[in-house]
Homo-oligomer: A and B are copies of this chain.
Amino acid sequence: MSKQTWKAGTLLAPAPPVLVSCGDAEKPNLITVAWCGTVCSQPPMLSVSIRPERYSYGLIKRSGVFVVNLPTQALLRAVDWCGVKSGRDVDKFAAMHLTAAPAGTVDTVLLAESPVNLECQVRQVLPLGSHDLFLAEITAVDVDEDLLDDKGKLHLDRAGLIAYNHGEYYALGRRLGSFGCSVRKKPRRQGR
């Protein structure tokens, strides 16, 4: 494989283009964030990076709380639209016909139409340059019961999640394997 060396750029992919909800029931807001990720297992923590000039930045900085709502194919238009519009100018929930419901463990709203909501409490804010990094502890997870089987096991593959890949949105495709598949013994074939 022959390679070109480019100057530095943000090419980590695929990323989850999550809808972050913030504000209060009176004036809730949504912002799309692809610069995000899990950062710790115990305690469960994630990070979202937001430009200080964004309207949601002040809402989250002042309240110290937000909710990460996982993005689905059904929410694609809202995912894109809430990334390019500002909550200063428009009520994004109303414009996208979406529902702000109270979160259970933090004093803000979640996106009812998202099948998985991660309620978050900010622990630290680090200015990095164009973006500030919000490090937050996940305080509860709300899960759509339709994604659970009879035993209560979550089947996140049924959610229709989407991925952001170098400026484009993709559905998740074929399942390739599960964690540990490279070291699991294959079951012996019956017969020949």
Contact = CB atoms under 8 A, between A and B. Distances in A.
Interface of A: 1-16, 18, 34-47, 49, 68, 70, 73, 76-78, 80-81, 83-85, 104, 112-113, 115-119, 124, 126, 128-131, 133, 135, 137-146, 148, 154, 156-157, 161-183
B40 A131 contact: yes
Contact of A128 (B45, B117, B166): B45
The residue in A38, A118, A140, A148 that gathers the most chain B C-beta atoms within 10 A of its C-beta is: A38
A27 B75 CA distance: 46
A140 B76 contact: no
B166 A170 contact: no
Nearest to A152: B4
Given A40-B133, A170-B176, 16 more contacts: A3-B117, A5-B104, A5-B143, A6-B141, A11-B154, A37-B38, A47-B133, A161-B165, A163-B163, A168-B175, A169-B175, A169-B176, A171-B176, A172-B172, A172-B173, A173-B174
Contact of A6 (B77, B137, B143, B146): B143
A130 B3 contact: no
29 contacts: A1-B113, A1-B144, A3-B142, A4-B142, A5-B141, A5-B143, A8-B138, A8-B139, A8-B140, A10-B41, A11-B141, A11-B143, A11-B154, A12-B46, A14-B172, A15-B16, A34-B38, A36-B37, A39-B133, A47-B47, A80-B181, A81-B183, A157-B168, A164-B179, A165-B172, A169-B175, A170-B172, A171-B176, A173-B173
